[in-house]
Amino acid sequence: MPRVVVDVMPKPEILDPQGEAIVSALSTLGVSGVTSVRQGKRFELDVDGDDQTALERARDLADRLLANPVIEDFQVRLDGGPREVGAQ
């Protein structure tokens, strides 16, 4: 059964206050050189069917449920497989 990974990230133009909080926490820790952090979500879906069908179903679910396309971009790929662009 294919495992599909869906990565969801806030769109670049959307403020990510959690990422900014992590950057300031890093400086409190004495860590330097990390200038930007963006926080997103990773979903792992075990899907019936062949790889192509699983990818298509995951892409549909990402668009309808896992991501909110108003504020988030997503990428869909097979676990361990090459990274594939799922949405702009």
Partner 1 sequence: MSARIGVVTFPGSLDDVDAHRAVRIAGAEPVALWHGDHDLRGVDAVILPGGFSYGDHLRAGAIARFSPVMREVVDAARRGLPVLGICNGFQVLCEAHLLPGALTRNAGLHFVCRDMWLRVETVRTAWTSGYEPGQEILVPVKHGEGRYVAAAGTLAELEAEERVVFRYARGNPNGSFHDIAGVCDASRRVVGLMPHPEHAVDGLTGPSVDGVALFLSVLTAHV
Residues near partner 1, by CB under 8 A: 10, 14-15, 17-18, 21, 65-66, 68, 70-71
Q: Find the shortest distance in angstroms from Cβ 83 to partner 1.
A: 23
Amino acid identity, residue 44?
E
Residue 11 token pair: 């769109």
Closer CB to partner 1, residue 50 or residue 63? 63
Smallest gap from Cβ 37 to partner 1, in A, equals: 14
Select 46 or 51, whichever has its Cβ closest to partner 1.
46
Cα–Cα distance measured from residue 8 to residue 20, given in angstroms and rounded to the nearest whole number? 17
CA angle 34, 40, 46 (to 5 degrees): 135
